[in-house]
């Protein structure tokens, strides 16, 4: 077989994606930021940069040089984890290289054979992936429907399921910006002796007292595990899994993505720890973001759109081509707004995902909605 022929099936897949307006390509950032998850504008924070350069100058290595279980366990990792446990109100915390790995790690390690994972149907791809790769049974429940979660657990018990259920949700959904009914979900978890695994990716730093997240009053419970990503509002990268100490010890012993990977950069641990300080010390960032959310909601409603009530504002267009065309029109006018298509979102719900951050002021938000009103012919 010639070298060319070896590549044919990949080319055919890409052509198929292009035919369905689903071909993705990379583009570098340009235009006003309505696309990043840098909600509090921390990625370029001078205080964060200063903390990292001071640590670097003081000899903190760039690379961890090995697994946490070998020589890669730096004091900076341990300092971050102690700070995070204290900050979020959990017994312990464990630092992972990314939120994707954190979700995958937890779901392939903690739910055991004979357990049941109940995923909200809209949880992030990394949770789906981890559940699928793990040993537990997996079912999906209708989005934000605690009754459907309850039904799934009852049905599994009736069929002879004897292990522990794991309920997996996000607190603020990444593509819809809506919130989980946490009170109802923890009640279901308690009723069934189940664990609740909560992904705070888009809420950490933004909501709750001192930015501790929407699940702040559930942290510290024996049946709650939380994932806080560091690459969104915290402006760094990585993720902190907060959990009872015994579960963190179990992850250190049994979690293959933790054991068999080079630890995250110690400098990133310094950045994440500093970001937690900033989030606590500078509440005005959350207040300014709330102001932008209120303004965007008002402008969205004036266009007949339902506001999500958060910094993630989906503008559902429907078909892939129209969503991408609308995004391109706005990009051409200087707004970095990205179209999101299946499989990231359900079929027929291609959308613009407008993300509000402190990288843009009120004038920028108003200008975006002025432009959207003019380009609205593409919307349903």
Ligand X SMILES: Cc1ncc(COP(=O)(O)O)c(C=O)c1O
Q: Which residues bind to ligand X, rule: CB under 6 A?
A: 98-100, 103, 124, 126, 170, 174, 199, 201, 229, 231, 239
> Which is the catalytic residue, given 98, 126, 174, 237?
174
DSSP character at residue 173: -
Closest residue to ligand X, judged by C-beta, is: 99
Q: How far apart are CA 319 and CA 342, in angstroms?
A: 10
Q: How far apart are CA 323 and CA 299, in angstroms?
A: 19
Long-range contacts of 339-348 (CB under 8 A, 24+ apart): 340/175, 340/314, 341/21, 341/22, 342/22, 344/125, 344/175, 345/175, 348/318, 348/319
Q: Is 199 marked active-site?
A: yes
Q: Is 202 marked active-site?
A: yes
Q: How far is the CB of 126 from ligand X (least distance, A)?
A: 5
DSSP character at residue 316: E
Please, are residues 196 and 224 in contact by the beta-carbon 8 Å criterion?
Answer: yes
Nearer of residues 111 and 231 to ligand X, judged by Cβ:
231
Q: How far is the CB of 85 from ligand X (least distance, A)?
A: 19
Please, are residues 235 and 38 in contact by the beta-carbon 8 Å criterion?
Answer: yes
Q: Is 287 marked active-site?
A: no
Residue 318 three-state SS: strand
Q: How far apart are CA 105 and CA 66, in angstroms?
A: 18
Nearer of residues 107 and 326 to ligand X, judged by Cβ:
107
Nearer of residues 103 and 349 to ligand X, judged by Cβ:
103
Q: How far apart are CA 358 and CA 289, in angstroms?
A: 6
Q: Is 124 marked active-site?
A: yes
> Which is the catalytic residue, given 36, 74, 232, 336?
232
Nearer of residues 39 and 369 to ligand X, judged by Cβ:
39
Q: How far is the CB of 105 from ligand X (least distance, A)?
A: 11
Q: Is 77 marked active-site?
A: no
Q: What are phi and psi of 226, to 5 degrees?
A: -130, 145
Q: How far apart are CA 375 and CA 335, in angstroms?
A: 13
Please, are residues 204 and 229 in contact by the beta-carbon 8 Å criterion?
Answer: yes
Nearer of residues 122 and 300 to ligand X, judged by Cβ:
122
What lies within 8 Å, CB to CB, of 374 at 6+ separation is none
Six token digits for residue 186 = 């923890």
> Which is the catalytic residue, given 33, 76, 199, 200?
199
> Which is the catalytic residue, given 124, 192, 216, 228?
124
228-251 burial by CB neighbour count: b if 16+ within 10 A, else e? bbbbbbbbbbbbbbbbbeebbeeb
DSSP character at residue 267: H
For the chain, the straight-line distance linking the first and the last C-alpha, in angstroms and rounded, comes to 48
Q: How far is the CB of 98 from ligand X (least distance, A)?
A: 3
Q: How far is the CB of 199 from ligand X (least distance, A)?
A: 5
> Which is the catalytic residue, given 38, 115, 137, 170?
170
* CA of residue 179 relative to chain centroid, distance: 13
Nearer of residues 229 and 331 to ligand X, judged by Cβ:
229
Q: How far is the CB of 46 from ligand X (least distance, A)?
A: 23
**Token pair 């004979």: residue:** 114
Q: How far is the CB of 232 from ligand X (least distance, A)?
A: 7
Residue 108 belongs to what H/E stretch? helix 99-109
Which residues does the annotation mark as catalytic?
37, 124, 170, 174, 199, 202, 232
């Amino acid at each position: 077989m010639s070298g060319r022929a070896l590549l044919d099936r990949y080319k055919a897949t890409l052509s198929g994606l292009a035919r369905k307006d689903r071909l993705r390509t990379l583009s570098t950032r340009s235009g006003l930021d309505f696309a990043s998850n840098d909600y509090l504008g921390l990625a370029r924070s001078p205080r964060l940069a200063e903390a990292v350069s001071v640590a670097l100058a003081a000899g903190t290595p760039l690379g961890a040089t090995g697994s946490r279980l070998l020589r890669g366990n730096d004091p900076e990792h341990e300092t971050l984890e102690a700070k995070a446990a204290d900050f979020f109100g959990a017994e312990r915390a464990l630092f992972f290289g990314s939120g994707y790995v954190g979700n995958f790690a937890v779901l392939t390690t903690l739910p055991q054979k004979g357990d049941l994972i109940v995923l909200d149907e809209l949880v992030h791809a990394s949770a789906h992936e981890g559940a699928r790769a793990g040993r537990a049974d997996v079912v999906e429940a209708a989005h934000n429907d605690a009754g459907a979660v309850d039904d799934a657990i009852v049905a599994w018990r009736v069929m002879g399921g004897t292990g522990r259920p794991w309920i997996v949700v996000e607190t603020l959904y990444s593509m819809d910006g809506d919130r989980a009914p946490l009170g109802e979900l923890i009640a279901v978890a308690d009723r069934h002796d189940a664990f609740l695994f909560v992904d705070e990716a888009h809420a950490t730093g933004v909501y709750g007292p001192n930015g501790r997240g929407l699940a702040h009053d559930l942290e510290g419970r024996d049946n709650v595990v939380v994932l806080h990503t560091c690459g969104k509002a915290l402006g760094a990268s990585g993720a902190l899994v907060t959990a009872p100490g015994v579960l963190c010890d179990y992850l250190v012993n049994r979690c293959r993505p933790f054991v068999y990977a080079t630890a995250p950069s110690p400098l990133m641990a310094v950045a994440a720890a500093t970001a937690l300080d900033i989030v606590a010390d500078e509440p005005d960032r959350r207040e300014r973001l709330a102001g932008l959310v209120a303004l965007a909601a008002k402008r969205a409603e004036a266009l007949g759109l339902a506001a999500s009530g958060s910094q993630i504002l989906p503008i559902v267009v429907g078909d892939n081509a129209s969503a991408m065309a609308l995004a391109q029109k706005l990009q051409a006018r200087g707004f970095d707004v990205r179209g999101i298509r299946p499989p990231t979102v359900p079929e027929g719900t291609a959308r613009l995902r407008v993300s509000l951050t402190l990288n843009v002021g009120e004038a920028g938000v108003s200008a975006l909605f002025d432009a959207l009103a003019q380009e609205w012919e593409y919307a349903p």
